[in-house]
Structure 1
Amino acid sequence: MARLGLSPRSSLQRACVSLVRAYLQFALRTTRWTFYVTPEAFPLLIGRNGTNGIMAFWHEILPATPVLCLWAKNASPSLRVKVLISRNRDGRMIADIIAPWGIGTIAGSSDTRGKNKGGAAAFRQMRKALLAGEQVVMTPDGPRGPRRMAQPGMAALAAAVRKPVVPVGAYYSGLQLNSWDKMVIPLPFGKGRFVCGNPIEIGKNNPDGTGLLAETLTQQMREATDGPDTTTDAYHVFRWAMPSQSIAPSKIWACVATLIAPSLPFLLRSRQRQGKELPDRVREKMGFPSRARPKGKLVWFHAASVGEVLSILPLITAWLEKDAGSTALVTTGSVTGARIVAQYQANHAASAHLIHQFVPLDVPRWGKRFLDYWSPHAAVFTESELWPNLIGQCRAHQIPVALVNGRMSASSFKAWQKAPRIAKRLMASFSWIAPRSEADAGHFKALGCNGLEPTGDIKAYAQPLPVNEQSLKALQRHIGQRPVFLAASTHSGEDETILQAAALARKTVPELLTLIVPRHPERGADISALASGAPRRSLNEWPQGSHTLWICDTLGELGLFYTLATCAFIGNSLLSAQNGGGG
């Protein structure tokens, strides 16, 4: 079948296709994929011994189609795969995007409202392909839904050719669109998994087989998508990386950031409504300054959030004491980090020479705006803050860059190894890196860093979390002698486990008071509802004698709660934590 293409007259469309294809390739290639495949499904997926069938997955994971197909082709190079794609404009673009990967397409979708959408022709082509031993990949809920509801077309095709259907579920790090199918666009350097369940077949003597298959397929695909128990022996486990396709990752990174830049203000507005951004300072994330630049030497220190800020404040203090005439520009990515800087400024005389701004998002134009205005003499990043565009802009502005307390976990190291050119270019942008440990030093060196300084964890010299003494005394009077269990910086998915643990602990210590401090305070209402209306500190509600839980959904008070605690749990450390971001 000839590849469907966009009009050659539209250079803009061709450029968009190339850019989207390059982004998908980069995102999918840098994702760590794991396949969980039942023994019955495996020979069908790879076409072993001439077997084949229909691979079914929901429309929302359509961008991950190449991974499934290329994984199967990698196991069986002679395998031929066809993907059913709608005949509309979006479908034609998808066909153009995946064509260079050797994945065939069949155009068509169910005819509706008397309109011929190529459904009958597509049915014949898929039937022919299946009978010829090719694999067919379909989305049974496409092209317009209902979402996650298998339509009868796939069941009818399976019945016509007597071929089994393999239900496929997938999950990967990505951004969910507000479309009918809630499509998930993959993000680079994430994790992804495919779950391939047992094949479903229509009984030869079952007249209701088509309807039964649609119902069974809907149920099993939902189970495969929503998190089956993959720890059992029911699955073979395969870990796989999508092969390289000769892209220029640093350029792609910049192009992708530029492409999505128009949508980022909407993301910032959404975060603002959730309390994750300060309304009067949100433009700083786009590189616009909110303070005047003082004259003279200015050194830029960047720390992501609370932990990094606390670790770098002694370094900033030492710098300002050594060069009293200079200015320290401190940037953070989070509101909580900004509050720690504000508390430091309130308690240190040297803060007159310290300015806080939020770091711009990693968009080339925004980073250039930031650097053009502040014109720092040097930049100091902390731990794992490796932003290719922003650091590349520093190189373009001839600003020396250092990384202190450099952290490179084993998982991050493996992710960067999948993009060696961008990693080497990034490492070359640093004047020097002071790793946190010998293991981190080894990872940085393997990625191409030559300017390594002695190792050492500067967090050992970090100042204690700030504590408001008046608030501490008031809480001590109110709580009295009750023992306090603190669950600090918790993430979504951990609350249920914490509540269960607290209930068990109260059987031994009945007077125990549990404090839950969510990493993102806007979750306070949800946690309170989960805990049967537990009091919330953000509403100035105090725990009474009968209360066993207190939701402390405020910012900048973690030091206060640690001081009160008898014992503590650090969040983002349970397997159930969703979308972590530091403890």
Structure 2
Amino acid sequence: MLKRLTGAGAARASAIVLLRAYLRLTIGTTRWTFDIHPDAYPLLTGQGEQSVLVAFWHETLALTPALLWWSIARNPTLRPHVLISRNRDGRLIADIIAPWGAGTIAGSTDRKGKDKGGAAALRQLLALIRSGDPVVITPDGPRGPRRQVEQGAIGLARLSGAPIVPVGGWCASWRLGGWDRMMLPLPFGRGRIVCGAPIAVTREDQDTARANLTGALDAAMHAAAPAPARAAQQLWAGLATLLAPALTLLLHRRLARGKEIRGRQRERMGLTTQPRPPGKLVWLHAASVGETLSILPVIAELLAQNASLHVLVTTATVTAATLLEQRLADIKGGTRVIHQFIPLDVPRWIDRFLRRWRPDAAALTESELWPNLIEACHRQRIPLALLNARLSDRARAGWGRVPGLAARMLGRFAWIAARSDRDAARFRTLGAERIDTPGDLKNAAPPLPADPTTLAHVRALLAHRPVWLAAATHAGEEEEIAKAARQIRTRYPTLLTVIVPRHPERGPAIAEGLDNAPRRAAGQEPGPEDSFWICDTLGELGLFYQAVPIVFIGNSLPGPGRRGGHNPLEPARFGATLATGPLTENFLDAFTRLGNAVHIVPDADALAKWVETMLADPARRTEAGQQAASATHAASTLPNRLATRLLALMDAC
């Protein structure tokens, strides 16, 4: 194709003008998506400690300006060079791309004793690489065979020590009829550039090195081409967009039910009047109370390590927002923390949120996997991590029904810090690669706080009667707890059952169902005739874990909407004797760690029998509590290490 345009004089000049104008139009009007491996990003933007070889298959040569523009836009001082052949085609290419900030080196591998300028080009390329300039090569050029790496590319990488970044490209295009079936872009289409992990070429067998590079380039091409995963992502985004009006109505219903805060429900659509503070900003998202508690030590470490940093924290629930506000008063630098409610996973709402806050790095927590949010962060070049990552078998099976979407989503994370080897294995089955297991943040959490004066008052209030605690209960469990309590009262008539619901707004309904039991949120305390006390306040579990030595952990009895239990380490730290229902999968490692210190009760009858045993045998109760406490040594350095990794992620962007 190019030979027809490589004549001399006016014809050649016209060809250059036409091709240059055409590429400007097509590449400039193409809507590009860049998928850059985190390890390749600093190399492609001149921020690495060494230069880089950027490798395309020859068929994507016409797409090279898109990546050049992307790199130079992020570092205008870059001076990339493209290795071209020393024939007429190569010279034409050099003239076409000359205005776009890239130099050229002419030469290719010498063959059959014929000098193609390879040796001279090699010397120039080594000099450029040593000076820090990136070099673009086509390992199968200039004449093929197609998609077969020639020895010159491997030799250059070995001699220079520069890593190779494999690049794949795709766009709406015509395929030309030459040996390489070169892509000729079409205007106003879509395109994608994928840059894989850098490859270091050592003194390994040359055939092995060529095979590795061939595989990496083919993988990048496959990733760049349209795939079912992208179709699934687009379908997800389209459905969310169509559902946006219904979601707006849902927010109004949630507001009426007290699940949103009046005046702040628009934050769920990415709207806010709060300004972004100047300087660096890290965004952490924690869905509910448990996740918020787990990241509080990380927030404290972030603020301590960077005195000018601001931290944006988003939650999905009002209770988590209230808890965060309470706990920030105890964190040095807490005034540099901003809270917002997370937007629902509608592309337009997420984009609006990200444009407002422009975080320098972001971290989601545990199992918060929202495809549109993750895709938007990737599109806007916001490096993303997943903290304390957990994935149940149920969730893994769900994502397994859309494996391409799951792999695409998990591939967007710069790194994933799993809470356990079991969770890491589940993530890997869905395609996660950059994942490790530093530990569970919930193991590193400090003991839940309690006001000393209030604790002394509650202890005095409960001192002269048998008492037990049902903590973090969910809808439907209170009926089972009441059934157990009535059985126990046949032997202990003055028994008091303290119920702390996971969601305090359920307090009035629970109290009404239990003969209008007193409610702590209403300022009421139990009298001698009261069988139940509903403690529907927020952030006081630490108070009751210290005041009541017998604790049942909720969200664990079989029933609709209940699964997985709650964190048993929180009461264990205070030496409480513990029981749980059989549903413990959300904290399986923590329950395994506590072992026989936690008693499993399948139903109300078994729960009543266990409470009676603990009330009747204080020595046994104390021994079980001490066994639980001894298993809760905190992994105190984990928040520090995760904060350091997040700050490094921010600095690398």
Would the aligned equivalents of 1:403 and 1:432 in 2 still touch at CA under 8 Å? yes
1:454 is displaced (CA, Å) by 3.2
- For residues 565 and 286 of structure 2, the distance between their equivalents in structure 1, rounded to whole angstroms, comes to 13
Counterparts of residues 135-154 of structure 1 (less than 5 Å): none
- For residues 306 and 287 of structure 2, the distance between their equivalents in structure 1, rounded to whole angstroms, comes to 24
> Which residue of 509, 530, 537 corresponds with 1:526?
509
Q: How many aligned residue pairs are there?
A: 339
Consecutive unaligned residues of structure 2, counting only runs of 5 or more, are 1-227, 567-653
* Paired amino acid for 1:450: E
Which residue pairs with 2:471 in the alignment? 488
Which residue pairs with 1:318 in the alignment? 301
Counterparts of residues 291-306 of structure 1 (less than 5 Å): 291-306=274-289
**CA displacement 1:79-108 (0-9 Å, x = unmatched):** xxxxxxxxxxxxxxxxxxxxxxxxxxxxxx
1:413 is displaced (CA, Å) by 0.9
1:425 is displaced (CA, Å) by 0.8
**CA displacement 1:266-294 (0-9 Å, x = unmatched):** 22222222222221322211112242211
> Which residue of 511, 533, 536 corresponds with 1:553?
536
The 1:290/1:542 distance shift into structure 2, 3 A limit, reads: farther
Which residue pairs with 1:27 in the alignment? none
> Which residue of 500, 506, 515 corresponds with 2:483?
500
Which residue pairs with 1:563 in the alignment? 546
Query: SS of 2:469's equivalent?
Result: strand
**CA displacement 1:481-527 (0-9 Å, x = unmatched):** 33432112211121211101112223343332111122222322222
- For residues 373 and 308 of structure 2, the distance between their equivalents in structure 1, rounded to whole angstroms, comes to 27
Would the aligned equivalents of 1:383 and 1:405 in 2 still touch at CA under 8 Å? yes
1:353 is displaced (CA, Å) by 1.5
Which residue pairs with 1:17 in the alignment? none
Which residue pairs with 1:467 in the alignment? 450
* Paired amino acid for 2:555: N
- For residues 470 and 361 of structure 1, the distance between their equivalents in structure 2, rounded to whole angstroms, comes to 41
Query: SS of 1:280's equivalent?
Result: coil
Would the aligned equivalents of 1:438 and 1:455 in 2 still touch at CA under 8 Å? no
> Which residue of 343, 357, 363 corresponds with 2:326?
343
- For residues 374 and 483 of structure 1, the distance between their equivalents in structure 2, rounded to whole angstroms, comes to 52
Query: SS of 2:480's equivalent?
Result: helix
The 1:470/1:361 distance shift into structure 2, 3 A limit, reads: farther
Which residue pairs with 1:421 in the alignment? 404
The 1:278/1:563 distance shift into structure 2, 3 A limit, reads: farther
- For residues 451 and 349 of structure 2, the distance between their equivalents in structure 1, rounded to whole angstroms, comes to 37
Which residue pairs with 1:373 in the alignment? 356
The 1:478/1:305 distance shift into structure 2, 3 A limit, reads: same
* Paired amino acid for 2:521: S
* Paired amino acid for 1:412: A
**CA displacement 1:521-571 (0-9 Å, x = unmatched):** 232222222212211222222110111101122222222222222212222
Structure 1 outlier segments of 4+, above 4 Å = 579-582
Query: SS of 1:313's equivalent?
Result: helix
> Which residue of 309, 324, 345 corresponds with 1:362?
345
- For residues 251 and 382 of structure 2, the distance between their equivalents in structure 1, rounded to whole angstroms, comes to 28
Would the aligned equivalents of 2:364 and 2:387 in 1 still touch at CA under 8 Å? yes
Would the aligned equivalents of 1:433 and 1:452 in 2 still touch at CA under 8 Å? yes
Which residue pairs with 1:436 in the alignment? 419
- For residues 323 and 512 of structure 2, the distance between their equivalents in structure 1, rounded to whole angstroms, comes to 29
Would the aligned equivalents of 1:300 and 1:378 in 2 still touch at CA under 8 Å? yes
- For residues 471 and 511 of structure 2, the distance between their equivalents in structure 1, rounded to whole angstroms, comes to 15
Which residue pairs with 1:542 in the alignment? 525
The 1:468/1:275 distance shift into structure 2, 3 A limit, reads: farther
Would the aligned equivalents of 2:304 and 2:332 in 1 still touch at CA under 8 Å? no
* Paired amino acid for 1:392: E
The 1:551/1:582 distance shift into structure 2, 3 A limit, reads: same
1:469 is displaced (CA, Å) by 3.1
* Paired amino acid for 2:499: I
Q: Flag the structure with more relative contact order, 1 or 2, with Cα contacts below 8 A and sequence separation at least 6.
A: 1
Which residue pairs with 1:209 in the alignment? none
1:387 is displaced (CA, Å) by 0.8
Consecutive unaligned residues of structure 1, counting only runs of 5 or more, are 1-244
The 1:267/1:434 distance shift into structure 2, 3 A limit, reads: same
Would the aligned equivalents of 1:343 and 1:466 in 2 still touch at CA under 8 Å? no
* Paired amino acid for 2:468: F
Would the aligned equivalents of 1:428 and 1:449 in 2 still touch at CA under 8 Å? yes
Which residue pairs with 2:393 in the alignment? 410
Would the aligned equivalents of 1:281 and 1:290 in 2 still touch at CA under 8 Å? no
Which residue pairs with 2:382 in the alignment? 399
The 1:563/1:268 distance shift into structure 2, 3 A limit, reads: farther
Would the aligned equivalents of 2:313 and 2:339 in 1 still touch at CA under 8 Å? yes
Would the aligned equivalents of 1:489 and 1:572 in 2 still touch at CA under 8 Å? yes
- For residues 385 and 527 of structure 2, the distance between their equivalents in structure 1, rounded to whole angstroms, comes to 50
CA RMSD of aligned residues (A): 2.0
Query: SS of 2:426's equivalent?
Result: helix
The 1:354/1:559 distance shift into structure 2, 3 A limit, reads: same
2:459 maps to 1:476: yes
Would the aligned equivalents of 1:286 and 1:361 in 2 still touch at CA under 8 Å? yes
Query: SS of 1:339's equivalent?
Result: helix
Query: SS of 1:289's equivalent?
Result: coil
* Paired amino acid for 2:444: Y
Normalising by structure 1, we get a TM-score of 0.56
The 1:269/1:556 distance shift into structure 2, 3 A limit, reads: farther
Would the aligned equivalents of 1:274 and 1:522 in 2 still touch at CA under 8 Å? no
- For residues 246 and 509 of structure 1, the distance between their equivalents in structure 2, rounded to whole angstroms, comes to 61
Normalising by structure 2, we get a TM-score of 0.50
* Paired amino acid for 2:297: P
**CA displacement 1:296-343 (0-9 Å, x = unmatched):** 000001111111111111111111111111111111111221122112
Percent of residue pairs bearing the same amino acid type:
49
1:368 is displaced (CA, Å) by 0.7
1:385 is displaced (CA, Å) by 0.6
- For residues 256 and 322 of structure 1, the distance between their equivalents in structure 2, rounded to whole angstroms, comes to 41
Would the aligned equivalents of 1:413 and 1:443 in 2 still touch at CA under 8 Å? yes
The 1:344/1:527 distance shift into structure 2, 3 A limit, reads: closer
The 1:467/1:273 distance shift into structure 2, 3 A limit, reads: farther
- For residues 500 and 579 of structure 1, the distance between their equivalents in structure 2, rounded to whole angstroms, comes to 18
